[in-house]
Chain A
Amino acid sequence: MLAEGVSPYASSLFGEKSSLSFFTNSFLLAGIVLGVLLWISRKATSNMQLIPHGWQNGFEGVVEFLYSKVEDIIGPKVAKRAFPLLASVFMFVLISNWFGLIPGVGTIGWGHGSGNLTLSSVSTPLFRPATADLNMTLGIALSFMIVWLILTISEVGVIGFLKHMFAPKGKFKGIMMLMMGVIFAFVGLIEVVSIAFRPMSLSLRLYGNIFAGETLLHTMMSILHGAPPIIEFIGSILIPLPFYFMELLVGLLQAVVFTLLCSVYILLSTAHDEEHDEHH
C-alpha cells in the first residue's frame, strides 16, 4: 500500500471536473481535525467548574500556557484580541501536522491494485495532512494577514501604520530630513514587499516542512522495495520508526514557528502603539 511518490498537491476526492472538486483529501482531514478540535473543546468546556475536572484542567493548562506566551510577546492589550487567532493557528497546525503521522494517512486510497484490498501503490490517498497542502497553509497565512492588517489599523490607525512604514525614525532637520525621508520611503517600499511576501514565506515554510516529512517517511517506508516480502514488510515498519519521532518534533516545531512568526509580525506593527500607551 505504498504511494508511488508523495504528490506535491492534494487530490480531489470527487474528481477535478466535479463541482465538489474543492473536497480534497487534505480538506477531508482538515474537516476531521476541525471535528476533533470541536469535540475536545466541548468536552473541556461543558459543565465548567471553578475547580476544574480532567478535560477542563488539561485544556485550561494549554490555553493558559499559550496565552501567557502570546501576552509575553505582543503585550496584554493586543493579546486579548489576537489570542484566539494565534491559538487557533497553533492548535490547528499542530494537530494537522500530527494527524499526518497516523497510520493510514497517505497510505489508504485509490491506486494500482495487486490483490484483495491491497494496492501496490496509492496514487490518490484518502487522507492527506492538511498542512501538506499549499492551499491550506496559504489559506491560514492569508487569514492571518487579514486579521493582522485589521489589528494593526485598529491599534495604530492608517496614518500611524503609514508613518510606521515610511516615516524617518529619529529627529532630523534640514537636508538630513530630506535625505532620510527619501531613504525611509525606499525602506518602506522594501517593507511593503516584505509584508506582501509574508503569506508566501509562512505558507511555503510550513508546507515544505510537512511535505518533506511525508516524503521522508514514504521514502524510508519503501527503501527496501524489491527485497523479499517479509524483509520489505519488517523494513517498512522499523526503518521509518525513528523518523516518526523526528516528525513529531518537526510538527510541533513548525506549529511553534508559524505561531511565533505571526506573533512577531503583530508585535512589530503594534509595538509603537503599546509603548505609546505605556508612557501614558
Chain B
Amino acid sequence: MIVAASAVSAITEQFGLQWGHLIAQIIIFAIVVFVLRRYAFGPILAMLEARRKRIADGESKLEKIARDLAAAEQNAKAIVTKADDEAGRLIKEAGESANILAEKKRQEAVNEASAIIAKAREAAQLEQEQLVTQLKREFGRMVVDATSRVTGKVLNNDDQDRINRETAAQVSL
C-alpha cells in the first residue's frame, strides 16, 4: 500500500499531475464533446439518417415501380394475346362470312343466269312461233293467191279461211 502510494506520488510529481490542471483539462474536453455533439455529430448524423431514409424510400419506390411495370407488362401481354385471339377469331369469321357471301352471290348469279337463259328461250320460242304463224299465213295467202289464179275464181273470205286452215294443217314446220 505504501509502495503504491509512493509510486502514485512519484508519478504525480514527475509528470506534473495536479487536481487543478486535471479538472481544467476535463472541463475543456467536456466542452469539446459538447461542441462536437451539438454542432457536428448531431446535425450530421441527422442528415445522414435523413439521407438514408430518403434512399430507402427511393429504393422502395423503385421496387414498387418495377413491380408495377412488371404487372403492366404482364397486363399488356395479356391484352395483346387477347387481341390476337380476338383478331384471329374475327378473321376466321370474316373468312367464313366471305365464303358464305361468295357462295350466295354465286348461287344468285347462277339463278339469274338460268332465268335469263329461260327467258331467252321463251322469247326465242315465241319468236319462232310467231314466225311459223306468219309463215303459215303467208304460205296460206300464197296458196289462196295461187288457187285463185289457177281457178280464175275470186275466193270469198270463207274459202280463203278454209284454204288457209287446210294449208296450215298440212304444212308441218
Report which A residues bind B (CB closer than 8 A): 8-10, 21-24, 26-27, 30-31, 33-34, 37-38, 40-42, 44-45, 48, 50, 52, 56, 59-60, 63-64, 67, 83-85, 87-88, 91-92, 130, 133-136, 138-140, 142-143, 207
Contacts and interface: CB of A to CB of B under 8 A. Distances in A.
Contacts of B44: 44-45, 48, 56, 59-60, 63
B33 A63 contact: no
Contacts of B165: none
Contacts of A31: 28
A236 to B, nearest CB: 27
Contacts of B40: 37, 40-41, 44-45, 59, 63
Contact of A88 (B26, B33, B43, B51): B33
Contact of A136 (B29, B43, B50): B29
Interface string B58-73: 0000000000000000
B36 A88 contact: yes
Contacts of A48: 43-44, 47
A112 B158 CA distance: 188
Contacts of B22: 135, 138-139, 142
Contacts of A88: 29, 32-33, 36-37, 41
B40 to A, nearest CB: 4
B20 A21 contact: yes
A54 B24 CA distance: 35
Nearest to A16: B18
26 contacts: A8-B16, A9-B14, A21-B20, A24-B21, A27-B24, A37-B36, A37-B40, A41-B39, A41-B40, A50-B51, A60-B44, A60-B48, A63-B40, A88-B29, A88-B36, A88-B37, A91-B36, A92-B32, A134-B15, A134-B17, A135-B22, A138-B22, A139-B23, A140-B29, A143-B33, A207-B15
Contact of B41 (A42, A50, A87): A87
Contacts of A63: 40-41, 44-45, 48
B36 A84 contact: yes
If over half of B's interface residues share one DSSP class (helix, strand or loop), that class is named, otherwise mixed; here it is helix
Contacts of A33: 32
Contacts of A91: 36
B142 interface: no
B35 A34 contact: yes
A82 to B, nearest CB: 11
Contacts of B39: 38, 41-42, 45
A135 B28 contact: no
Given A44-B40, A59-B44, A38 B35 contact: yes
A30 B31 CA distance: 11
**10 interchain residue pairs of minimum CB distance:** A9-B16, A22-B24, A139-B25, A41-B40, A135-B21, A139-B26, A41-B39, A134-B15, A84-B37, A136-B25
A34 B32 contact: yes
Contacts of B36: 37, 41, 84, 87-88, 91
A130 B17 CA distance: 13
Q: Which of A41, A130, A138 has the most CB of B within 10 A?
A: A41
Nearest to A51: B51
Contacts of B24: 22-24, 27, 135
Contacts of A22: 18, 20-21, 23-24
A9 B10 CA distance: 13
Contacts of A60: 44, 47-48
B14 A8 contact: yes
A133 B16 contact: yes
B30 interface: yes
Contacts of A84: 33, 36-37, 41-42
B26 to A, nearest CB: 4
